[in-house]
Chains A and B, each alone.
Chain A
Amino acid sequence: MADLRTNFAGIRSPNPFWLASAPPTDKEYNVVRAFEAGWGGVVWKTLGEDPPIVNVSSRYGAVSWGGQRIAGFNNIELITDRPLQVNLDEIRRVKRNWPDRAVVVSIMVPCTEDAWKKILPHVEDTGCDGIELNFGCPHGMSERNMGAAVGQVPEYVQMVAAWCKHYSKMPVIVKLTPNITDILKPARAALAGGADAVSLINTVMSITAVDLDLMAPEPTVDGQGSHGGYCGPAVKPIALRMVGDIARDTEMRGLPISGIGGISGWRDAAEFIALGAGTVQVCTAAMHYGFRIVDDMIDGLSNWMDSKGYATIADFQGRAVKNYVHWSDLNLNFKTIAKIDQDLCIKCGLCHIACEDTSHQSIAALRVDGKRRYEVIEEECVGCNLCAHVCPVESCITMQPQPAAKPKLVWGNHPNNPMYVPEAAE
């Protein structure tokens, strides 16, 4: 049984599965249920100044895909709508009753030193394990110069992180917004401000759908809608990329990263950890199915680690980072081609039509004795993988790496590269 314990910027938890700051961590009742279910930690739903904000009725939009509910999810809910003291009292009680779990408190107050100086001691006094600065919320709060409005300006990120380090002793995690061109800028700013860790991604600005009867974006509030923050399985690729970018950045080497974005099971978590994350945070999957999903996350990850011989999280954390390279570092002499397992083929023809219409015309549609047969034309195949992706049968189409005919060649050294200057002969 693998050891799933984590120490993330000094914050310990029995497993890397935390609930992200969101509705599931709104109050003691939910958090206690989460801990009972086995979650390693929570980031408490963002605290703000009193008086509390007011939320709208109708708060979530979702994307269904082929009958699957909540492939993508979006919300227009704001930070906690409960008084500060109520939250502080509950946080104190929860941490006291669950000392082995990570209790991190998310905070968002106006971008003034006084505001942060005022709230930090109250939070620290609860005995919580750390704070997460909500610089990511892309709706509602950003219009009030908080949330993403701070996260999109690296100078502000650095400034607020520095205040937090100055006015408290708690580990500081800066939560980053993906609604920015270069994720490295705010991440480096967080580090420069003294932050102990970053977490990402917060939600992506989005409109999930337009109600074609009401002619308004969903979710609709009295016939109108607003953009929201997108999350759920659909955003995982965006999050993985941003996590990987930070993990491989030499300036930020060793900066703890809490991965967030569409994590729905242990495999997603393993991928984030392989790309450098130390813990992962989950929200949408829990909101879809309840807290019990952590059970499979924990023993799925543990079983997978056992099967691979990884005893601890650290054993595989960041292992994929060195293989996350820039396109220009890829080997242009590598060649792989598709192979169809004729015994597994169910004759759906999807590989053929995808290749024929949209790729390289390298899968022939044949009839042999009246029966359909699809065959790869190896000379034409460029190894794009499209056929393997469209094939509905697991392992029916596989990509076969071809024996290396030539040494590795990258774009920088390719004769077609206008910038390439052959080394002068000695």
Chain B
Amino acid sequence: MTDIAAGRLPPAQIAANFADAHPPLTPHEAVVEASRCYYCYDAPCMEACPTGIDIPSFIKKIGTGNLRGSALTIFEQNILGGSCARVCPTEILCERACVRMAEEERPVRIGALQRRATDWLMEHDPAPFQRGPATGKHIAVVGAGPAGLACAHRLALHGHEVTIFEGRPKSGGLNEYGIAAYKLADDFAQREVAFVLSVGGIHIEHDKQLGRDFDLATLQRRFDAVFLAIGLSGVRALELEGESFAGVRNAVDFIAELRQSGNKANLPVGRSVVVIGGGNTAIDAATQARRLGAEDVTIVYRRGPGDMSATADEQDWAQTNGVRIRHWATPHRLLGRDGQVTGIEFMRTQPGANGRAVPAGDTFTLETDMVLKAVGQVFIADPLKSDGSLALAVEDGRIAVDADRRTSLPGVFAGGDCVAGLDLTVAAVQDGKVAALAIHRQLMG
């Protein structure tokens, strides 16, 4: 008898489980933590930040009580510094580079300090930036996620007018739909969007999808330049027998539903949940399933812990939340009864050539009420086609761009998850910023 139900925990418990998982530093904690920063010269942390934030400077300014200056040091490089402070895997970026790692393996808490500064400014001055003198140029941005917002903001600072076309009813992209609720708690994603838009000169048209409501050729005609930040719209399937059973879902849909739900106590979750995959989506889905009240949650990944794209910290976080992680197994067959999933048969794997997983021969079965698939998202090029043909170059499954995020089409730029590189918010912001500067140079040069 499968068991998928809502309200497995008291509403107050569920609310607490989805509140800010890592509450902000108190003002005094922040000053003490800031004092741990050595204010390195040619700081390795700064080099490790995809957006190149001057980390020693912003931390120094926290120490001196110059919170406005600190926050602006961050925002000038990364207008989404607020969400990056919350969602960046700092353990593989700035904090891993922190010189204190070499000394004591305890880095300065750069992410937490960034949150202290950015929160302060967003609370005290919700509109610190102003659009530059109007240039008369109008740029189309497709996608109101981190890359699109960062690009639009930088363009607006230079005085350009921007129209963002967003396929979903809300802006924010993955910050709104794809990040675990306890990482970006309450309505932070929307507050951040408002903060970005406060610069002026940016219009957003929601529910406008590229390829459905308009095409790229039209944008090229109507605007002075185009920036594509369309993300990864496809979700990889297991391509296994039984995948259409009820109770089998894409993890990204489960996460989006959680984020959009006003009352999480109404969300159904299995008593037993199996998540398949090894990335942060798998971690977020599994941990949130636990926090919704699932009794038994298992992540199954085809290779070892070091091969997972989820960082070690993320894996620890899931395990701390009571998620079991099983390695070296790949789903073979979904089992079901009356159209409802009841279990998965896994094939054990073992390391093969080039680190790939190869079948080890035997199988095992996990009984489950719910399966969440998190085996990867893929770029779908179809919306970019005009009259059925794809005009711009795609390379290794993503839009091909140069160092300026210029595509093969004149006047069309791209960034974020739809181009190659780290699939991180902070990398998307950098793409948007770099593209905006290139667009500005091209239009005004």
Task: Give the CA-CA distance A349 to B37 in the complex, in Å.
Answer: 13
Q: What residues of A have a CB within 8 angstroms of the CB of B32 in the complex?
A: 67
Asked whether, in the complex, the Cβ of B44 is within 8 Å of the Cβ of A347, the reply is yes
A353 located at the interface, meaning its Cβ lies under 8 Å from any Cβ of chain B in the complex: yes
Q: Which of B28, B40, B100 contacts A349 (CB 8 A)?
A: B40
Asked whether, in the complex, the Cβ of B63 is within 8 Å of the Cβ of A372, the reply is no
Q: Which of B38, B41, B63, B103 has the most CB of A within 10 A?
A: B41
Q: What residues of B have a CB within 8 angstroms of the CB of A66 in the complex?
A: 35, 63
B214 located at the interface, meaning its Cβ lies under 8 Å from any Cβ of chain A in the complex: no
Prevailing SS type, chain A contact patch: loop
Contact digits for B37-69, partner A, Cβ 8 Å, 1 yes 0 no = 011111110000000000000000001000000
A330 located at the interface, meaning its Cβ lies under 8 Å from any Cβ of chain B in the complex: no
Task: Give the CA-CA distance A135 to B63 in the complex, in Å.
Answer: 39
Q: What residues of A have a CB within 8 angstroms of the CB of B41 in the complex?
A: 348-350, 352-353, 365
Asked whether, in the complex, the Cβ of B103 is within 8 Å of the Cβ of A346, the reply is yes
B102 located at the interface, meaning its Cβ lies under 8 Å from any Cβ of chain A in the complex: yes
A121 located at the interface, meaning its Cβ lies under 8 Å from any Cβ of chain B in the complex: no
Asked whether, in the complex, the Cβ of B39 is within 8 Å of the Cβ of A372, the reply is no
Asked whether, in the complex, the Cβ of A350 is within 8 Å of the Cβ of B102, the reply is no
B99 located at the interface, meaning its Cβ lies under 8 Å from any Cβ of chain A in the complex: yes
Asked whether, in the complex, the Cβ of B31 is within 8 Å of the Cβ of A67, the reply is yes
Q: What residues of B have a CB within 8 angstroms of the CB of A372 in the complex?
A: 42, 44
Asked whether, in the complex, the Cβ of B99 is within 8 Å of the Cβ of A347, the reply is yes
Given known A66-B63, A67-B32, A67-B34, contact A349–B103 (CB-CB < 8 A) = no
Task: Give the CA-CA distance A168 to B99 in the complex, in Å.
Answer: 63
Given known A66-B63, A393-B103, contact A349–B43 (CB-CB < 8 A) = yes
Given known A67-B32, A392-B38, contact A346–B63 (CB-CB < 8 A) = no
Task: Give the CA-CA distance A65 to B41 in the complex, in Å.
Answer: 21
Q: Please count how many residues in chain A sit with their CB below 8 Å of the partner chain's CB atoms.
A: 14
Q: What residues of B have a CB within 8 angstroms of the CB of A350 in the complex?
A: 38-41
Task: Give the CA-CA distance A392 to B103 in the complex, in Å.
Answer: 10
Given known A66-B35, A67-B32, A392-B38, contact A346–B43 (CB-CB < 8 A) = no
Task: Give the CA-CA distance A420 to B399 in the complex, in Å.
Answer: 79
Q: Please count how many residues in chain B sit with their CB below 8 Å of the partner chain's CB atoms.
A: 17
Q: What residues of B have a CB within 8 angstroms of the CB of A392 in the complex?
A: 38, 103
Task: Give the CA-CA distance A372 to B102 in the complex, in Å.
Answer: 13
Task: Give the CA-CA distance A67 to B31 in the complex, in Å.
Answer: 6
Q: How far is the CB of A391 from chain B (nearest CB, A)?
A: 9
Nearest neighbor of A65 in chain B, beta-carbon distance: B35
Q: What residues of A have a CB within 8 angstroms of the CB of B103 in the complex?
A: 346, 392-393
Q: How far is the CB of A286 from chain B (nearest CB, A)?
A: 23
Chain B contacts with A in 372-402, Cβ cutoff 8 A: none
Task: Give the CA-CA distance A350 to B35 in the complex, in Å.
Answer: 15
Q: How far is the CB of A388 from chain B (nearest CB, A)?
A: 15
Q: What residues of B have a CB within 8 angstroms of the CB of A346 in the complex?
A: 99-100, 102-103
Task: Give the CA-CA distance A92 to B28 in the complex, in Å.
Answer: 45
Task: Give the CA-CA distance A349 to B38 in the complex, in Å.
Answer: 10
Task: Give the CA-CA distance A392 to B35 in the complex, in Å.
Answer: 12
Contact digits for A60-74, partner B, Cβ 8 Å, 1 yes 0 no = 000000111000000
Q: What residues of A have a CB within 8 angstroms of the CB of B100 in the complex?
A: 346
Nearest neighbor of A66 in chain B, beta-carbon distance: B35
Q: Which of B28, B34, B42, B44 contacts A365 (CB 8 A)?
A: B42
Task: Give the CA-CA distance A41 to B28 in the complex, in Å.
Answer: 37
Q: What residues of A have a CB within 8 angstroms of the CB of B44 in the complex?
A: 347, 372
Q: What residues of B have a CB within 8 angstroms of the CB of A353 in the complex?
A: 41-42
Task: Give the CA-CA distance A328 to B31 in the complex, in Å.
Answer: 44
Asked whether, in the complex, the Cβ of A67 is within 8 Å of the Cβ of B35, the reply is yes
Q: What residues of B have a CB within 8 angstroms of the CB of A347 in the complex?
A: 40, 44, 99, 102
Task: Give the CA-CA distance A372 to B31 in the complex, in Å.
Answer: 28
Q: What residues of B have a CB within 8 angstroms of the CB of A352 in the complex?
A: 41-42
Q: How far is the CB of B204 from chain A (nearest CB, A)?
A: 41
Q: What residues of A have a CB within 8 angstroms of the CB of B39 in the complex?
A: 350
Q: How far is the CB of A328 from chain B (nearest CB, A)?
A: 37
Q: What residues of A have a CB within 8 angstroms of the CB of B31 in the complex?
A: 67
Nearest neighbor of B97 in chain A, beta-carbon distance: A347
Q: List 5 A-B contacts (CB under 8 A).
A: A346-B99, A346-B103, A347-B44, A350-B40, A350-B41
Q: Which 7 A-B pairs have the closest CB atoms?
A: A349-B41, A353-B41, A66-B35, A67-B35, A67-B32, A346-B99, A346-B102
- Interface set of B (CB-CB < 8 Å, partner A): 28, 31-32, 34-35, 38-44, 63, 99-100, 102-103
Given A346-B100, A353-B41, 8 more A-B residue pairs with CB atoms under 8 Å apart are A67-B34, A347-B40, A347-B102, A348-B43, A348-B99, A349-B40, A372-B42, A372-B44
